Every structure is written in structure tokens, then in C-alpha cells.
């Protein structure tokens, strides 16, 4: 028997200093304290996981509502939905509990950053998210950890190429400025 799971997530774009960035999280990863042999694979596995914010669709929730909720919970920012980017479909075997085979669909939506500080998340979310940061959208297709999410970053780039007007709707900001007694530094 195969179990079905449905999740939703977001590709949150922000324009800073004339470039596009995407909100990325590093989920908390349990390390089992076992010594790891140094192989190319183990070194790759020790790299931090870079992922897009996403989570399980709650009962009565629409996928786009889930994506918006997960973006805010996991990154600390508020965003406005632009469009659905697509679905990622895959099968995995749970490595906990019943060890069931799971067919999973994750729907991803494109968002524009509106407000909030990236990484300003509730203490209870620290169990799930180690940190959040802005990654250059140009680098995301190479630096995100999961193939399907790298494809969503590519789709975001394609969307921007087709809809250049989106840049005029984005908040074009520089990183937060600090006040130093009359001198501003970035």
C-alpha cells in the first residue's frame, strides 16, 4: 500500500540592489553521532541542506494558504502570492514509524517579499528551521539541495524573464542600514 501526502511551499523573491534573491532555509537535521567515513558522498551529505520553505497542507486549507503560512512560519517574512510555479512529485520510504512508501506532491507558488525580517521566526519553529537567508536567485538552481526545488528556482527565473514588469512591483531595497552617529554603513 502506498500513502499519499500533500504539501505546499513558496519561492519568495526579493529585489535588493538591483538583483533578485530567494528566501532559503536550512532545516534542522538530526545527526546521529556516528562517525562518518570521509567519502565524496559523506562530504556532500555533510553540506548544509538548502531548501525552500514548505509544509503539510492542514485540513480545510488550500495549498496556496499553506504555502503562505509556511513561508511566514519558516522564514519570518510576509509575502504576496504571484502565481503557481508547479508541482513536484516523488516517492519515498518513511525512515520512521511505519516505514510506509509515500507518494508525495508538493505544490510551489511564486511570492514577492512584502515585509518582515528574514530569520525572525517563533522559538517553536527553531525545532524545524536552523536558519533562513537570502540566496541570489541566479545561484539557486545550483545551490538548492533538492532537484525539484532547483527546478522551481529555474521556473522562477523563467517567470521573471517572461514578466519583467514584476520588477516594478517588487520592493527594491538594500540590506538594512545601521545608524552610526551620522555615518551610514551597509
Helix, strand, coil percent values for the chain (each to nearest 5): 25, 40, 30
Q: Which contacts qualify for 84-93: CB closer than 8 Å, 24 or more apart?
A: 84/108, 84/109, 84/110, 85/11, 85/109, 85/110, 85/152, 85/155, 85/156, 85/159, 86/151, 86/152, 86/155, 88/148, 88/149, 88/151, 88/152, 90/148, 91/2
Farthest CA pair distance, the chain: 67
Of the candidate ranges 2-16, 57-71, 103-117, 168-182, the one whose mean pLDDT is the lowest: 168-182
Of the candidate ranges 12-26, 91-105, 106-120, the one whose mean pLDDT is the lowest: 91-105
Look at residue 54 in the predicted model and tell me its pLDDT: 97
- For 65-95, the pLDDT digits (tens) are 999 999 999 999 999 999 999 999 999 998 8
64 pLDDT band, cuts 50/70/90, is very high
Structural domain spans, the chain: 2-31+41-174
For the CA atoms of 83, 86, 92, 94, the dihedral, rounded to the nearest 10 degrees, stands at 10
- Tell me the pTM: 0.82
172 pLDDT band, cuts 50/70/90, is low
Look at residue 175 in the predicted model and tell me its pLDDT: 46
Which CATH code of 3.90.79.10, 3.40.50.12280, 3.30.450.20, 2.30.30.790 fits the domain covering 2-31+41-174?
A: 3.90.79.10
Look at residue 37 in the predicted model and tell me its pLDDT: 44
- Dist. CA 150–CA 159, nearest whole Å: 14
Check: CB of residue 112 under 8 Å from CB of residue 82.
yes
Q: What are residue 144's phi and psi, to 5 degrees?
A: -70, 150
Look at residue 33 in the predicted model and tell me its pLDDT: 39
| Residue whose cell numbers read 511570492 | 111
Amino acid at each position: 500500500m502506498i500513502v499519499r501526502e500533500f504539501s505546499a511551499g513558496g519561492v519568495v523573491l526579493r529585489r535588493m540592489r538591483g538583483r533578485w534573491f530567494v528566501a532559503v532555509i536550512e532545516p534542522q537535521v538530526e545527526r546521529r553521532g556516528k562517525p562518518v567515513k570521509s567519502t565524496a558522498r559523506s562530504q556532500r551529505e555533510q553540506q548544509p541542506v538548502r531548501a525552500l520553505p514548505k509544509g503539510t497542507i492542514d485540513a480545510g486549507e488550500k495549498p496556496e494558504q499553506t504555502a503562505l503560512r509556511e513561508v511566514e512560519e519558516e522564514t519570518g517574512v510576509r509575502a504576496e502570492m504571484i502565481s503557481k510555479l508547479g508541482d513536484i512529485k516523488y516517492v519515498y520510504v518513511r525512515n520512521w514509524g511505519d516505514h510506509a512508501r509515500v507518494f508525495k506532491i508538493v505544490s510551489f507558488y511564486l511570492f514577492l517579499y512584502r515585509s518582515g525580517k528574514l530569520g525572525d521566526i517563533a522559538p517553536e519553529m527553531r525545532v524545524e528551521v536552523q536558519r533562513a537567508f537570502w540566496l541570489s536567485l541566479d545561484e539557486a538552481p545550483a545551490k538548492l539541495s533538492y532537484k525539484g526545488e532547483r527546478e522551481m528556482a529555474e521556473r522562477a527565473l523563467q517567470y521573471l524573464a517572461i514578466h519583467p514588469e514584476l520588477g516594478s512591483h517588487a520592493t527594491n531595497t538594500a540590506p538594512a542600514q545601521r545608524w552610526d552617529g551620522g555615518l551610514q554603513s551597509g
